[in-house]
Structure 1
């Protein structure tokens, strides 16, 4: 699908302390992304804390986001769950409501084998009818997709893309080249891991699945467009201006930082779901200084 390229922006899902979605805050976040003209929106990703939300609240978030986009931006929705039958329900909900694709991780408590993950993905894709993006997120799931498994999954109808974790910038070029050899033509290969996104895009990745893009889309979109147009000097320049943000991501986690950015920029006020705690006052002050130095570079 053509929309699985460029910048896929992943916003937080603001909720109250009971896990009920703050509809007005979510719609405000989605409206910013639509106004920036991101290529797609990644709703209910890890940044959207999908694993902390009930089925009803996931449905509520999808409905509100789709209503706010009014068809302007495709929605990729996180549909992961520990149980296959639950993930089928989430994917079926997303399909029925109008999502363009589902983002599926190999969520587990008991370690999974390749064959178990293959069956999990094939069942969800087949029974829901929702196009699926493989989400390789070993830092959270403790499962890493092998090249052999990616090749098997890539042959299945309805599985059309992969979101890789760019945890090692020096490994991206080789990994990307190999994946292009083993997946079908038109299969989209993308990366998360914001601080290595520039290198991934320059190496030829189709998509940047961005945490920062979900709250500050403008500089992220400029970086993507520069890389797409072959202006690697400009892409590196923008990336360098965002380096202080990347350092905060590494130190405090991107999730905590983007919640604090939303508050500091008065976009919305929410805290991550417990037991995750928000940034400390000292860390928030450090972040405020970074945002102040970025100034107009962060966009509206």
Structure 2
């Protein structure tokens, strides 16, 4: 489950509620494409903007429509009490695993983050992936802290931020972390623009935003890297450079992916929880042309 392609779908919002039909359709689309796992309620799934009840409902919908594809559910929240409740909801929904980021308002210390994972793993009956995402949590893990957390029960993967663009530096980054964690804990790369580099450098998984919307191209990149065809994986990724550049311009992928999903009629428009807004105006028109040129449908 914590290897290969893990696809992160949007949670489309229509009016004041979740568009359950659109979300179910996105999940089935991923299963049909043959992704290795589906992660509901990651950052792309707007988990921080949903109530605990809404998140429980999304977890149930994801499991219900995923067929035999394993479902990972994001359980990050500001209070440990709420994280434990969300973990319980995810397990009751039938999730195969959970994803936990150290969400905060007051910036957390390393000991506080370790305490969070210690408290949660103590009550889990499913595997956990550590979500290292300083861009949203504003907490930066050290490899030493990753090593401590990876020793806890049920910790099975670490979702790291993007690796360096230089292949040798990327391999050194992955190898250093690998030396700090148990052998059963996988390393998964995020940051779609550097995913092929990360997979080629030894990451076992790609935790993918683009995979949650256009899974075929992400599956192709992943399978090429898994087969040892590093140049092919890079070729397929480099073809998407205009999209990666747009991700970078907006400081992340959510607004761009939401606009792409709206343009392709896969989710309602608007689809993000206010005050978030998808890419609009001239750049939305540019994105529409780009999707056609890249054959992303």
**TM bin (shorter chain):** over 0.9
Aligned residue number for residue 277 of structure 2: 277
Aligned residue number for residue 266 of structure 1: 265
Please provide the CA RMSD for this pair: 1.2
8 Å contact from structure 2 (residues 6, 38) kept in 1: yes
1:33 equivalent to 2:30? Answer: yes
For structure 1, the 5+ residue unaligned runs are: none
CA distance in 1, matches of 2:96, 2:124: 13
Alignment of structure 1 residues 190-229 onto 2, 5 Å: 190-229=188-227
Aligned length: 293
Aligned residue number for residue 56 of structure 1: 53
Residues 135 and 33 of structure 1: CA distance in aligned 2, closer, same or farther (over 3 Å): same
Aligned residue number for residue 177 of structure 1: 175
TM-score (norm 1): 0.95
For structure 2, the 5+ residue unaligned runs are: none
Deviation for aligned residue 1:168: 3.7
CA distance in 1, matches of 2:18, 2:265: 18
CA distance in 2, matches of 1:52, 1:17: 14
Aligned residue number for residue 253 of structure 2: 254
8 Å contact from structure 1 (residues 92, 129) kept in 2: no
8 Å contact from structure 1 (residues 161, 188) kept in 2: yes
For residues 222-265 of structure 1, the C-alpha deviation after alignment (integer angstroms, 9 at most, x for no partner) is 01100111111211111111111101111123101111111111
> Of the candidates 92, 96, 108, which is equivalent to residue 92 of structure 2?
96
Aligned residue number for residue 8 of structure 1: 6
CA distance in 2, matches of 1:244, 1:39: 26
Aligned residue number for residue 42 of structure 1: 39
TM-score (norm 2): 0.96
CA distance in 2, matches of 1:127, 1:36: 33
Alignment of structure 1 residues 139-158 onto 2, 5 Å: 139-158=135-154
Aligned residue number for residue 17 of structure 1: 15
